[in-house]
Amino acid sequence: MRILHQIEYKPARVVGGYTDRILRVDLGKQKITIQELPPDFKNKYVGGRGYALKLIWDGTTQETRYDSPENILVMASGPLGNEPAFPGTGKFVVGTISPLTDTFIDSNIGGHFGPLLKLAGFDALAVAGISRKDVVILVDGDVQTISIAAAPVYDREIDEGALSFGDSLLKDINDGEYSDSIAAVTAGKGAFNSRFGIVNSLFFDLRRKRIRSKQAGRGGTGTVMRYKGLRGIVARSSLSKVNGNNAIDKEGVRRAGSQLKAVISKCDSQQLNMSTWGTTGLSEYMDKFHIFPINNYQYGHSPESSKLFAQVFLDKYFSKKIPDGCYYGCNLACAKGAENVRLSRGPKAGLVVGIDGPEYETVGAVSSMGIFDPHFVMEYSWYCDEYGIDTISTGVTISFFMECLQRGFLSTDDVGYELSFGNIEAADRLVHEIASGEGFGKVVGQGVARGKKWVAQKYAARNGTSEDAVMAELNKFGMEVKGLEFSMYITKESLAQQGGYGFALKGPQHDEAWLIFIDQVHKELPTLEDKANALKWFPLIRTWFNATGLCKLPWIDVRNPEAAKTAEPAKNLPTLAYYVAYLNATTGSNKRLEDVLDDSERLYILQKLINLRQGKGTRISDQIPLRAMGPVYFNEYEARAEYYDEWLQQQLGDNKAPSSPEQRHKLLMEKRIQAYQQLCDIVYEKKGFTSQGIPKHETVEKFGLTDEQARQLLKESGV
């Protein structure tokens, strides 16, 4: 490998979860520096998302876009991200200015890269600048060097793929052998040719004897990586992973970890059974409650959905009886995978591959295209990972265009071929075109927000109508907010989840607030006040997971039986107590849950300020498509007319509902729109925002965030 620039360094030792160092690389200047952090930095910004937010806040401006040289690609774990004695560690976040939303995005990701980067001496890696030629970064804690090297050339097919390039790279730098002391992140050609490129996290799985991958899927972090000319980053450390955080109180860590492992061990098999089914178990529940996003979120349920239920993947694909944790020590072990799957479509047809996944979101994305073929799900999952594109945004954008054809906004001539719901061949073709930036894929690869503009211009020019009028119609079913495509849940019947998507600072991704079952099915949030409280509390605790290097699933998807005795079982507070104990034992702090939530709120407000600076921080940016609120088109209403009529009558009380179905449909949608606006009002108040969704001075001040930039920003925002 041709080294372009290299420094020698002495790796800092991890103490209490931190090294207090950030590795900074400027690819434009080929400069590598090590930033020593002051002691209060970690107290204020925690780690993970918090570090990424602070670096982006300080290092970018209102004008910064995803492809600007000053944009920073941050990869950061947190103080709790490296502990096999506690389930669900190993997570890190990738944060940057997004090509889809033009504001901060972060996406969390499993695998070994975060822990190995930490063991190699760094709490975070921040990459700025743009390299003129493709490069890789090598962080080698063993030989104590950090290098920028010319991206190696293997062969064209390997070089274009995120998985295959990463596989070759990991062997290449270790004399042709895999090792669990080395991990990599990579981005494939699709990440360069679309706005929703992902970062793959590749690690050697000792049990499967192959390289496995996890993905930072949302918001185009891989696109930023490729635009920087960065093809891969490798971290190596042979230091022991046991007690990787070097906890202050090792016995406290062991105790907290044992308690959580016991709950998972006892309860998972009786609940969601994720250790067997992974996340695909959700498909059946979502379909049952009309939440499965079929045909671009038009219908939540289909007789065909059972073809995509967990048992199908278990019977046909998943390797059974292999504990599939994405990091050591996780007994939830939900990162399911399949071996020896023969691809039947696309340029690699005939190739036999190992496939990591699919996750529920990928299954949902395929259903959004009206496709119910499990083998296509497997292939779609593999190709998207190999190309480096987000399965969610890819599926939602394709399904948006399918609906544009369904409703006559586009014709087959515009696409070049038939593109209808359920058309596997067309969907498959489009995936490859997106990845190559060719044909209609060039348009689809821009995502829904930009796709709407493209359709509006085309339709308006052809029909002599105004673009605004067309946009108003497309906004009804173009499933994006702030520029990010929705994840895979229909929110029509859950006002709380409408807020969960609308207020989510990064855009409609459920990792900030997943309230749909608590609200729609469990009925635990009956009032607006209840929903608003949940919309404040859940994003804060979930932010903490993204700041500390932890996976949320062992907390949120395995209900501790003791939670039933608490006032708010959905918060699963008995299990959260183990997490707080783990934090204190690791870092030597003495925090309560309330303190943890305060730490998170500081990060939440900082992210809100970045959104405000980037033009995505006011009430208008929190508005959701009408389809997310209810059955926006009559065909959706008709599909569940009895249910909707009953719902409407409940709202009207003693008043009589209109006699015609069309009028009832219209009135129902008016009620839904009104409810969402009421929710906005009360949620903003709870969060300390103005009625326009802007943080008040006192809110910013409370968390010590009133620097000169914040002061100026609030002034310009009229606050």
Which residues here bind another protein, judged by CB under 8 A? 267, 269-273, 276-277, 279, 281-282, 285, 288-290, 311, 360, 487, 489, 510-511, 514, 517-518, 521-523, 552-553, 555-557, 559, 561, 563-565, 569-570, 572
Q: How far is the CB of 506 from another protein (least distance, A)?
A: 15
Nearest CB to another protein, comparing residues 93 and 424: 93
Nearest CB to another protein, comparing residues 321 and 523: 523
Nearest CB to another protein, comparing residues 594 and 642: 642
Nearest CB to another protein, comparing residues 139 and 264: 264
Q: Report the alpha-carbon distance of residue 19 to residue 40 in Å, rounded.
A: 13
Q: How far is the CB of 571 from another protein (least distance, A)?
A: 9
Structure tokens at 218: 């949302």
Q: How many CB atoms lie within 10 A of CB 272?
A: 22
Q: Residue 292, Cα to own-chain centre: how many angstroms?
A: 18
Nearest CB to another protein, comparing residues 548 and 614: 548
Nearest CB to another protein, comparing residues 39 and 526: 526
Closest CA to 387 of 240, 218, 189, 548: 189
Is 200 within 8 Å of 385 (Cβ atoms)? yes
Q: How far is the CB of 522 from another protein (least distance, A)?
A: 6
Nearest CB to another protein, comparing residues 324 and 359: 359
Q: What is the 8-class DSSP label of residue 480?
A: E
- The residue length of the chain stands at 719
Nearest CB to another protein, comparing residues 57 and 486: 486
Cα four-point dihedral sign 526, 527, 533, 538 = positive
Q: How far is the CB of 380 from another protein (least distance, A)?
A: 19
Q: How far is the CB of 503 from another protein (least distance, A)?
A: 17
Q: How far is the CB of 282 from another protein (least distance, A)?
A: 7
Rg (CA), the chain: 24
Half-sphere exposure of 220 (CA within 13 A, CB side): 28
Q: Residue 400, Cα to own-chain centre: how many angstroms?
A: 20
Four-point Cα dihedral 401, 310, 199, 244, nearest 10: 160
DSSP for 389-444 reads B-HHHHHHHHHHHHHHHHTTSS-HHHHTS---TT-HHHHHHHHHHHHHT-TTHHHH
Q: Report the alpha-carbon distance of residue 462 to residue 448 in Å, rounded.
A: 21
Nearest CB to another protein, comparing residues 559 and 602: 559
Q: How far is the CB of 433 from another protein (least distance, A)?
A: 30
Q: In DSSP terms, which residues pair with 125 in a beta bridge?
A: 23, 75
Nearest CB to another protein, comparing residues 290 and 536: 290
Residue with tokens 């992974």: 278
Residue type, 108: N
Q: How far is the CB of 255 from another protein (least distance, A)?
A: 24
Structure tokens at 203: 């690690």
Q: How far is the CB of 393 from another protein (least distance, A)?
A: 17
Q: How far is the CB of 559 from another protein (least distance, A)?
A: 4
Is 163 within 8 Å of 200 (Cβ atoms)? yes
* Runs of H (alpha helix) within 139-220: 156-160, 162-172, 189-193
Is 116 within 8 Å of 183 (Cβ atoms)? yes
